[in-house]
């Protein structure tokens, strides 16, 4: 009888706390202009089968700073933005690769392993200023080039998409 009572209590606790756990993985709706849409093999959405992010939602993710030169800019700059792997965690990404699409429809395929191996960010700021569209923004897939010189190759340069607006998890 005691085992049955413990089993019922455990079941009751699971029923009470399961909605709370599920809510912890839900994404809130964006309140401002949508900067990024994530779709594909994801489990956490806020608009149909997609995850839409405004600036405040992206700012709420864990951020990193990278001081680096890039093949497209002059000198060393300090870039800041959310870790790409934090974005993938936020949407419950289950795939092995991403199709990252820019505003001009340029698209690059990026293996998720890049984001586990390196602190790749979605740069939103350069030298303390928000990145505008004409300055590679609002989001720029940026690798830590100066910290890892082996990243200075054509493959990684191709994956460094700027003016990002959509990510599809495959």
pLDDT digits over 13-71, tens only? 444 443 333 344 579 999 999 999 999 999 999 999 999 999 999 999 999 999 999 99
Residue 55 has φ and ψ, to the nearest 5°, of: -60, -45
Residue 91 has φ and ψ, to the nearest 5°, of: -95, 0
Interatomic CA distance for residues 94 and 33, integer angstroms: 26
* Domains along the chain with CATH numbers: 30-169 (3.90.420.10)
Which pLDDT score, from 0 to 100, does residue 51 have? 98
Say if residue 138 is preceded by a cis peptide, omega within 30 of 0. yes
Residue 61 tokens, joined: 């993710």
Interatomic CA distance for residues 138 and 144, integer angstroms: 18
Do residues 70 and 142 make contact, with C-beta atoms less than 8 angstroms apart?
Answer: yes
Interatomic CA distance for residues 111 and 134, integer angstroms: 27
**What's the pLDDT tens digit per position in 118-160?**
999 999 999 999 999 999 999 999 999 999 999 999 999 999 9
Do residues 66 and 144 make contact, with C-beta atoms less than 8 angstroms apart?
Answer: yes
- 93 three-class SS: coil
**What's the pLDDT tens digit per position in 61-117?**
999 999 999 999 999 999 999 999 999 999 999 999 999 999 999 999 999 999 999
């Amino acid at each position: 009888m005691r085992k049955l009572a413990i089993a019922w209590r455990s079941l009751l606790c699971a029923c009470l706390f399961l909605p709370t756990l599920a809510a912890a993985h839900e994404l809130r709706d964006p309140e401002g202009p949508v900067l990024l849409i994530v779709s594909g093999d994801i489990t956490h959405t806020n608009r149909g089968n997609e995850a839409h992010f405004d600036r405040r939602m992206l700012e709420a993710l864990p951020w990193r700073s990278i001081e680096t030169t890039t093949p497209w800019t002059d000198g060393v700059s300090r870039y800041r933005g959310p870790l790409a792997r934090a974005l993938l965690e936020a949407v419950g990404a289950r795939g092995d690769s991403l199709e990252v699409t820019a505003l001009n429809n340029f698209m690059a395929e990026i293996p998720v392993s890049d984001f586990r191996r390196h602190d790749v960010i979605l740069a939103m700021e350069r030298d303390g200023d928000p990145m505008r569209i004409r300055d590679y923004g609002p989001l720029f897939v940026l690798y830590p080039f100066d910290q890892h010189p082996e990243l200075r190759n054509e493959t990684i340069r191709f994956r460094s998409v700027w003016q990002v607006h959509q990510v599809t998890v495959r």
